[in-house]
Amino acid sequence: MTQTEVEPKVLVEVTCEAPDLELLFAEWLNAVIYEMAVRGMLFGRFAVRIEGTRLAGSLWGEPVDVERHAPACEPKGATYTALKVTVDNTGVWSAACVVDV
């Protein structure tokens, strides 16, 4: 069985807000995970707009096809473990946390 990329067939819009960028990142991940679970979808393309501590995002994906996508596990939620968001002096963002599966 060969895994294939997720095709950007369906657009889903999400918004979230949190008191700081680290918590906003966790909220964003949890919004993506929620949409995956309730819609039975995988997402492979993302765009976000951040204004202060509010995020508006677009997710593009398609319904899960177990034979074609061969998913290994289902994420349950983002945690605050090792939660960190940084932006360097060139404007490059980096974000990390542990995700429960």
39-60 pLDDT, tens per residue? Answer: 999 999 999 999 999 999 999 9
Please state the rounded mean pLDDT for residues 64-93: 94
Grade residue 71 by pLDDT with cuts at 50, 70 and 90.
confident
Please state the rounded mean pLDDT for residues 86-97: 95
pTM: 0.91
Grade residue 96 by pLDDT with cuts at 50, 70 and 90.
very high
Tens digits of per-residue pLDDT, 10-27?
999 999 999 999 999 999
Q: Where are the domains of the chain?
A: 10-72
Contact residues for 12 (Cβ-Cβ < 8 A; gap 6+): 35, 39, 41, 43, 58, 59, 60, 61
How confident is the model at residue 101, as a pLDDT? 94
The dihedral through the CA atoms of 67, 48, 84, 19 has a sign that is negative
Please give the Cα distance from 60 to 62 (Å, whole number).
7
Domain spanning 10-72: CATH superfamily: Archease domain (3.55.10.10)
How confident is the model at residue 2, as a pLDDT? 55
